[in-house]
Amino acid sequence: MSQKAALRRELLAARRLLTQDDVGRTAAVLSASAQNLPELTTARTVAAYVSVGREPGTHALLDALRARGVRVLLPVLMEDNDLDWALFEGAEHLVPAGRGLLEPDGERLGPRAVLEADAVLLPGLAVDARGMRLGRGGGSYDRVLARLSSAGAHPALVVLLYDDEVVARVPEEPHDHPVDAVVTPAGARRFSARAS
């Protein structure tokens, strides 16, 4: 088993121990902290995601961003694991999709719509002191980050995590991209510079 796979297994096992109350309380704290993050307070368009299961909750944050007039893009998983995007128009417009995900039911804007984002909220399992993020291993966000990079787009990259998911070191591969900030219940942390 690779180092990434072993770390993913360990982190997912820890998340399975969380109760729904734990997840709900954490979501409220994360939403409040993330809303005050300068990268999000100044953003006009934010690409985000809908949390499911025991992921750090994004629902309250999505509602707050939308209420503030921010244009929120949500991913739509395509057959090849790449991501299309659609506008978030409220929880009543989210529909069940494959892999237990929730997706917006509106018009598809295309994979390049993410290039309009001032900030991108990325799902993750861990981040380290260098800002290197460990995702779930599906590769969807690797494609998004590569698309941003190849287009010369530099939105703020932010990941929401539980406190114990900020780790000493995340195994990395050449295609991995660091994030600019992490928000946990303990607060926000910025990384001085993106790794090269």
- The pLDDT tens digits for 13-58 are 999 999 999 999 999 999 999 999 999 999 999 999 999 999 999 9
- Topology adopted by domain 3-186: Rossmann fold (3.40.50)
**Sign of torsion over alpha carbons 68, 62, 141, 157:** positive
- DSSP for residue 39: H
List residues forming the annotated binding site: 4-8, 50, 55, 133-141
Which pTM was predicted? Answer: 0.93
List residues forming the annotated binding site for ATP: 4-8, 133-141
pLDDT greater than 60 at residue 165 = yes
The ranges assigned to domains in the chain are: 3-186
CA distance 174 to 177: 8
CA distance 100 to 169: 29
